[in-house]
Amino acid sequence: MAITKTERLRRFYSLFAGEDQVLVVITADPDAIGSAMAVRRLLWRRVAGVTIASSNRVHRPDNVAMVRLLGVRLLHLNDVSPDRFHRLVLVDSQPGHCEAFDGLIFDAVIDHHPDTKPSAPLVDIRPQYGATSSILTEYLRAAHIKPSAKLATGLFMGIKVDTSNFENKALMEDVNAFQFLFRHVNKHLARRIEQTEIRPEYLKYFRKALTVKRSRKGKVFAHIGPVSSPDVLVLIADFFMKVNYVNWSIVSGISDSRLVVIFRNDGIRQHAGTVASRSFAAIGSAGGHRTMARAEIETGRLKGLVATRDEKRMLAWLINRVQKRATGK
């Protein structure tokens, strides 16, 4: 029997008591930030306090703008002590998605990514949904909560980004959530967040990407070398997809002793998440959606495979590995 929205909300609320300090854990991006804001609002006046902490540092300009303009007090997970919290909630992710979650025991996991079967008193994973923000909007509506303009804007941005303005997979539930939020969103704030894209210090990486890029039958590859943040790789990969002959963009770089590879494609032929997994899951973490995916590999695991300091060899290795896996060879 299908669980009703009211019953989901009841089960969620049953986890918490008035004296609880709650830690909401995310890997910060628009969908995760909006979802965490919704959890905080759902628990307002029901618990002693809610803290939002991210496993990653926020550097991408639009995410920085979102946190600042929406007034989100976001801490880094390294700067909090989970032991002092009575309840832990994970949204827009699952325990196995990030090493930073190792050792954390979650009371609730709410997500829209493929189900990895996490264990928690409440698990609400709906891979068919386009965004976790849509799921949390349903919780708000079941609780008869009218979102503030900032909360509505956060959830609105989460749905827009994760569905790529409904170009990626989405259900009618995503559309319904979007329409509901649209009535309450601050459109000026949303526009300011969307238009904040590139930090001045990122321009040097764009210049390098244009210099080193290699093209292969509609695919553009670029290895940038060391980067201050993986977010710049996402921006460059998205940028290459705006070139009219490009149907795949694969951009890599090294950050915090990890090789990060960003995949983008037009969604017409192959599944980006599948190609990422075939290419790199054997040596790191990899996966994603049809048009966007990501892989991360500890540089120590690349010893014997490729010289990470030789950027030309890194690019050649990247091209060879992805091309072979993409064609199933």
- Could you tell me the pLDDT band of residue 195, with boundaries at 50, 70 and 90? confident
| 151 pLDDT above the threshold of 80 | yes
Q: How far, rounded to the nearest angstrom, does the alpha carbon of residue 267 sit from its chain's CA centroid? A: 18
Q: What is the CATH number of the domain that holds 232?
A: 3.10.310.30
Q: Average model confidence (pLDDT) for the chain? A: 92
Residue in 83, 178, 91, 82 with CA at minimum distance from that of residue 130: 178
Where in the sequence is the domain holding 247, given as residue range(s)?
A: 201-326
pLDDT in tens, 225-254: 999 888 899 989 999 999 988 999 999 999
Same domain as 151, residue 297: no
Task: List Cα–Cα distances, 176 to 7, 62, 180, 181, 321, in angstroms.
Answer: 20, 25, 6, 9, 41
CATH number of the domain where residue 154 is located: 3.90.1640.10
Query: Are residues 27 and 127 part of one domain?
Result: yes
Lowest mean pLDDT among 136-140, 176-180, 265-269: 265-269
Q: How confident is the model over 251-304, as pLDDT tens digits?
A: 999 998 999 999 999 887 788 989 999 999 889 988 888 888 999 999 999 998
Query: What confidence score (pLDDT) does residue 299 get?
Result: 92
Q: Which of 144, 173, 195 is the last residue of a domain?
A: 195
Whether residue 151 is found in the same domain as residue 10 = yes
Q: Are 290 and 168 in contact (CB under 8 A)?
A: yes
Q: What is the DSSP string of 190-238?
A: HHHHHH----GGGHHHHHHHHHH-EEETTEEEEEEEE-S-THHHHHHHH
Secondary structure of the chain: what % helix, strand, coil (to 5)?
A: 45, 20, 35
Same domain, 13 and 146: yes
What pLDDT does residue 98 have?
Answer: 85
Please tell me whether residues 182 and 207 are part of one structural domain.
Answer: no
Q: In terms of domains, do 104 and 228 share one?
A: no
- Same structural domain, 161 and 295: no
Give dist(CA 201, CA 67) in Å, integer: 20
The verdict on 190 and 205 lying in the same domain is no
Q: Which of 140, 165, 195 is the last residue of a domain?
A: 195
- For the chain, what is the domain count? 2
329 band by pLDDT with thresholds 50, 70 and 90: very low
Judge if 130 and 242 occupy the same domain: no
Question: Could you say which of 195, 228, 251 is where a domain stops?
Answer: 195
Alpha-carbon separation of residue 11 from 32, 33, 114, 174, 324 (angstroms): 21, 22, 22, 22, 47
Residue 271 has a CB neighbour count (10 Å cut-off) of: 17
Q: Is residue 2's pLDDT more than 80? A: no
Q: Do 186 and 205 have their domain in common?
A: no
Alpha-carbon torsion, ordered 239, 242, 243, 244, to 10 deg: 170
Same structural domain, 139 and 96: yes
117 Cβ neighbours under 8 A, 6+ residues apart: none
* Whether residues 168 and 24 fall in one domain: yes
Q: What DSSP string describes 108-172? A: EEEE-SPP-----SEEEE-TTSS-HHHHHHHHHHHTTPPPPHHHHHHHHHHHHHHTTTTTS---H
CA angle 60, 238, 172 (to 5 degrees): 90
Q: Which pLDDT does position 197 carry in this prediction? A: 64
